[in-house]
A and B are shown apart, each in its own frame.
Chain A
């Protein structure tokens, strides 16, 4: 079986194009080796593209917050994000701040979770990228009952969110082995700037922490901000 050898191919091109002008040589190469040239150009393009993103792309978030069932424009959420970044002084060249208002589901019913929004939401939580979720009391309690939100009475969370314990929202976990009693899975923030200044929600509003979040302290900063900025 004949093997493709780059050195032999180069020698073939050299010998076959001897005496040709540059234009003729390019024409020859393009006519006989256009596929090789195309492949090489594509490979170089991809290598540069990957290296640029891999070396310089932003891979982590300062905080990722999902606002569920926001039925107004993004303006309030965008303004909140900009003001929060200014407040914390986060360097966006280092990490991202994501405020996602594109999530619509009703976790209280089976039908309400049978959609792509909920699947995407669960994927974000399971991947550990979603730090906080904001929504109505019933919705957050239902998400919490399925074990997808942090138990705020757990050892790692208890101290951190102690000052908000009077605002805790409770639910009974579906997993009876975890607990048969009610556990706190959310913090009522109905009197914060999210409802007042930014008008993102009009009624009750609760914040829960993603079950696998690594940025609980950033969520705490966010909580402080929405109460300082009323």
Chain B
């Protein structure tokens, strides 16, 4: 019995050591980013990277410099609005399409769903030019809609929600039909609330990918007043290419909204990843 307890303790210790090492690996780049943002440029490039703390005082003014150079409030606003609309549109369209593919019977259903799957197999870059032309011809360049456009529908979301709806028992829907619910009521009142976890997963995926999206904002938003944090940060990388503290200060300011969102929705993030089995 004692042998078993000792073995279990050893296993627990080993698991904790692995977790601590993994946490350390995850945290170090963030710590390095924040601490470099507080150094002088000379310190950032000349001192060994193993001396992680600033030697010549904490230079908070680096944040002020980049804040003044770029209107971060506008970048935050554009990014958060883009994330909000992409999440709303993706969840809305994917839920409806997922319900149709997962629960309804209609001619050409399998063919149409195979078209959705094909879209998942093609690299996203293929769609960039037609999407750009559509946005351009609609006169939507440098607008919030232009930013949201590629996220209006999602093949991955449709697939995720279809799987979610398929997993629900048929009896629920049949009971609702007997009670006189029409198709809209069955979808809205009965089925949709039961796929909440899939919807949350999709929302999280969409939010993270929208936040990380760099190429599309760079193409459709050439004005500083309409661009997003990722594209703004890319511009800073060009402008402050050799000024590492300024770049790191900008990067720290840029990740703040995502950290805040994560802190608020931490439970849903973890549940969402567990539900979809994906990694962000």
A117 proximal to B (CB < 8 A):
yes
Given A4-B182, A59-B138, 6 more contacts at CB 8 Å? Answer: A3-B182, A57-B139, A59-B139, A102-B235, A119-B125, A124-B132
Report yes or no: B140 in contact with A102, Cβ–Cβ below 8 A.
no
Q: Among the listed B125, B129, B183, which residue makes an inter-chain contact with A127, where contact means beta carbons less than 8 Å apart?
A: B129
Q: Mark B164-193, 1 if CB is under 8 A from A, else 0.
A: 000000000000000010111000100000
A185 proximal to B (CB < 8 A):
no
Report yes or no: B219 in contact with A120, Cβ–Cβ below 8 A.
yes
CA–CA, A54 and B224, complex, Å = 22
Given A35-B188, A71-B241, A117-B234, residue A1 in contact with residue B182 (CB < 8 A): yes
A72: chain B residues at CB < 8 Å are: 239
B96 proximal to A (CB < 8 A):
no
CA–CA, A50 and B152, complex, Å = 14
Report yes or no: A71 in contact with B129, Cβ–Cβ below 8 A.
no
Q: Mark B134-147, 1 if CB is under 8 A from A, else 0.
A: 00111111010100
The tally of CB-CB contacts under 8 A between chains A and B is: 80
A29 proximal to B (CB < 8 A):
no
CA–CA, A104 and B141, complex, Å = 21
Given A49-B145, A58-B139, residue A116 in contact with residue B218 (CB < 8 A): yes
Task: Give the residue name and chain of the A residue nearest to B180 (CB).
Answer: A2
Report yes or no: B239 in contact with A73, Cβ–Cβ below 8 A.
yes
Report yes or no: B215 in contact with A54, Cβ–Cβ below 8 A.
no
A40 smallest CB distance to B (angstroms): 15
Report yes or no: A129 in contact with B140, Cβ–Cβ below 8 A.
no
B237 proximal to A (CB < 8 A):
yes
B53: chain A residues at CB < 8 Å are: none
CA–CA, A221 and B214, complex, Å = 32
B194 proximal to A (CB < 8 A):
no
CA–CA, A53 and B180, complex, Å = 43
Task: Give the residue name and chain of the A residue nearest to B124 (CB).
Answer: A119
B164 smallest CB distance to A (angstroms): 21
A13 proximal to B (CB < 8 A):
no
B132: chain A residues at CB < 8 Å are: 123-124, 127, 129
Report yes or no: A123 in contact with B219, Cβ–Cβ below 8 A.
yes
A100 proximal to B (CB < 8 A):
yes
